[in-house]
Amino acid sequence: MVDDSRIRVLTLNCWQVLFLCATCCSLLFRGLKYVSKNLDERIEAIAHELANSNYDIIALQEIWVFAHYERIQQRVVKRLPYSKFFYSGALGAGLAIFTRYPIISSSIHPYSLNGTPLDVIAGDWFVGKAAASIVVLHPVLGQIQVFNTHLFAKGGEDGPEYKRAHRLVNAWEFAKLVRQAAEGGRFVVALGDFNSIPPTLPMTVIFQHANLKDSWTVTHPGVNAASITSPLEAVQRLGITADSPLNSWSASKGHARGTWGKRLDYVLYRQPNRPGQTVPNLKAIDSKVVFTDTVPRRSFSPSDHFGLETTFEVTSTSQDETSQIPPLATSASELSNATISTVIQALTECYRFSRERSRKELIIFGLCLLVLVGVIIGTVWLPHAWINPIFIFFTVFMAWLATTMLYEGFIFGHWECNALMNVIEELEIHRKGMDILNGRRDSNDSRSVSL
């Protein structure tokens, strides 16, 4: 018998390596299953494990090949009859959601910044990293908007924040979508690979602006990281999902004692914003890292990430305390001035870097044109016929370089700068708007005191 007072969810990055070549992207994409290490066996192991599980919602990342989505769908369809594979960008979003509850709507929001066209090895620009979501109908909670996302990876956690500017843009856009969903009266469950450890700026933006709760910290409060003495304990108590020495794909990576990997995968949630209404309560009661064993009879892990599982408890007719607060009094879920200033500073630095890079690329474009003109003129005085093929090859190369620099420097350069400026101005307007609302609130408070 199905228990509607419990919701079990899973997020897992399936690790399908996407290796790109600028001249044959589509061919390599079709051959993806031959590029990723042991991909077919790993997908089969993941599908088998999911088929024998009792999850209510599953969110997968890096599931680029539609045939692999279909394989998993066929395995889990009896338990999870509803699913959605999301399309975005040139090569797909790599996102899929499977659920036990009927889907009543779906959407996808491609992030405005996802790396550069020249970074063909990483391939982020060619794929459509995005915030995908479905709205499902739960028997007790009503409408739940389930998000699945995979944020931009490059930049790490060290060094200046401007190196993570694209991820900050992703985080801001994701937080806005979650906030809009909650303000529309829906419960929110957000899953995915956020490529950020908890204290970093992107996660701070998401937690503060979207007012999301982290299921791991809710179910594992007060854990002292300094007391962790083994990789297994780090997985069990800190929720480590990536770069763990217990994972065969990251076992060779150096890890400092006391870190044991990274927590990059999250299950986040929040109540709806329904002022004056009594709504059911959604609370995380258990979270654990899963998919930690190797593929049966093999020595490698199913993915380079472990999965994260959370069990929610649903209690009906529980007064939602936050819903009784007037809309103006929502300071607890707002970005702090310090966070906004830090984000704006990082994006501004990235804006300047982008302008300077674009200027250099356009200079290269101009030089390429001059060289091409010189080559064309020089062909008149070629002393030997055998030099012709060399000149042709060199001309083709210079034409390709000129075209690439024009696209990267002018089209993408303006694209990136405009996207950064949009977010900078949105944050500035948001900060000014909150000052106005806080001033009005203070004025109303002073009036009530005088009365």
For residue 207, what is the domain's CATH number? 3.60.10.10
What is the rounded average pLDDT of the residues 352-378?
Answer: 93
pLDDT of residue 333: 66
- Among 16, 20, 28, 15, which residue's Cα sits nearest to residue 121? 20
Answer yes or no: do 264 and 378 share one domain: no
Where is the domain boundary, 280, 315, 350? 315
Looking at the chain, the whole-number percentage of residues with pLDDT higher than 70 is 87
pLDDT of residue 275: 86
pLDDT of residue 24: 44
DSSP H helices, 185-300, are 201-210, 215-219, 231-238
Answer yes or no: do 255 and 392 share one domain: no
Q: Give the residue, 296 or 252, on which the prediction is more confident.
A: 296
Structure-block tokens of residue 256: 């400092």
pLDDT of residue 254: 60
Whether residue 159 is predicted with pLDDT greater than 80 in this model: the reply is no
Answer yes or no: do 97 and 234 share one domain: yes
Q: Give the residue, 110 or 324, on which the prediction is more confident.
A: 110
* Number of domains, the chain: 2
What is the rounded average pLDDT of the residues 264-285?
Answer: 94
Query: Where residue 316 falls among pLDDT bands split at 50, 70, 90?
Result: confident
Q: Which of 40-49, 85-94, 99-108 has the lowest mean pLDDT?
A: 85-94
Whether residue 194 is predicted with pLDDT greater than 90 in this model: the reply is yes
- Among 242, 137, 131, which residue's Cα sits nearest to residue 190? 131
Q: What are the C-alpha distances in Å from 216 to residues 186, 280, 327?
A: 22, 21, 28
Where is the domain boundary, 253, 283, 315? 315
Mean pLDDT across the chain: 88
Answer yes or no: do 187 and 241 share one domain: yes
**CB burial of residue 151 (10 Å; 0-12, 13-18, 19+):** buried
User: Residue 200: inside a domain, yes or no?
Assistant: yes
Q: Which of 32-41, 51-60, 272-281, 343-352 has the lowest mean pLDDT?
A: 32-41
pLDDT of residue 451: 36
User: Residue 252: inside a domain, yes or no?
Assistant: yes
Answer yes or no: do 306 and 358 share one domain: no
| Stated length of the chain | 451
Whether residue 28 is predicted with pLDDT greater than 50 in this model: the reply is no
Q: How many Å apart are CA 341 and CA 56, to the nearest integer?
A: 40
Using the 8-state DSSP alphabet, how is residue 408 labeled? I
pLDDT tens, residue by residue, 163-181 = 899 999 999 999 999 999 9
Answer yes or no: do 309 and 342 share one domain: no
Whether residue 417 is predicted with pLDDT greater than 70 in this model: the reply is yes
- Among 416, 393, 437, 3, which residue's Cα sits nearest to residue 169? 416
Strand boundaries in 119-234, DSSP class E: 130-138, 142-150, 187-193, 213-214
User: Residue 58: inside a domain, yes or no?
Assistant: yes
User: Residue 439: inside a domain, yes or no?
Assistant: yes
What is the rounded average pLDDT of the residues 127-142?
Answer: 95
Whether residue 34 is predicted with pLDDT greater than 90 in this model: the reply is no
What is the rounded average pLDDT of the residues 276-294?
Answer: 95
Structure-block tokens of residue 312: 């929610």
Q: Is 305 marked active-site? A: yes
pLDDT of residue 318: 45
Which one of the listed residues 305, 384, 414, 430 is annotated catalytic? 305
Answer yes or no: do 295 and 366 share one domain: no
Q: How many Å apart are CA 226 and CA 223, to the nearest integer?
A: 9
Query: Where residue 313 falls among pLDDT bands split at 50, 70, 90?
Result: very high
Whether residue 342 is predicted with pLDDT greater than 70 in this model: the reply is yes
User: Residue 330: inside a domain, yes or no?
Assistant: no
Q: Which residues of 194-228 are buried (b: 16+ CB within 10 A; e: fewer)?
A: bbbbbebbbbbbbbbbbbbbbbbbbbbeebeeeeb
Per the CB < 8 A criterion, the answer to whether 316 and 187 are in contact is no
User: Residue 374: inside a domain, yes or no?
Assistant: yes
Looking at the chain, the whole-number percentage of residues with pLDDT higher than 90 is 70
User: Residue 106: inside a domain, yes or no?
Assistant: yes
Per the CB < 8 A criterion, the answer to whether 301 and 295 are in contact is yes
Domain hosting residue 95, numbered range: 6-20+27-315
pLDDT of residue 445: 53
Answer yes or no: do 311 and 342 share one domain: no
Which neighbouring-strand residues pair with 147?
133, 190
What is the rounded average pLDDT of the residues 394-407?
Answer: 94
Whether residue 295 is predicted with pLDDT greater than 70 in this model: the reply is yes
Compute the Cα dihedral for 256, 259, 261, 264 and give only its sign: negative
Q: Coil, strand, or helix at residue 201?
A: helix
Q: Coil, strand, or helix at residue 187?
A: strand
Answer yes or no: do 386 and 265 share one domain: no
Where is the domain boundary, 256, 283, 315? 315
pLDDT of residue 122: 79
Answer yes or no: do 306 and 365 share one domain: no
Answer yes or no: do 212 and 93 share one domain: yes
Answer yes or no: do 265 and 126 share one domain: yes
Q: Which of 128-132, 292-296, 381-385 has the lowest mean pLDDT?
A: 381-385
Q: Which of 92-96, 153-157, 394-398 has the lowest mean pLDDT?
A: 153-157
What is the rounded average pLDDT of the residues 245-253?
Answer: 88
User: Residue 323: inside a domain, yes or no?
Assistant: no
Q: Give the residue, 155 or 218, on which the prediction is more confident.
A: 218
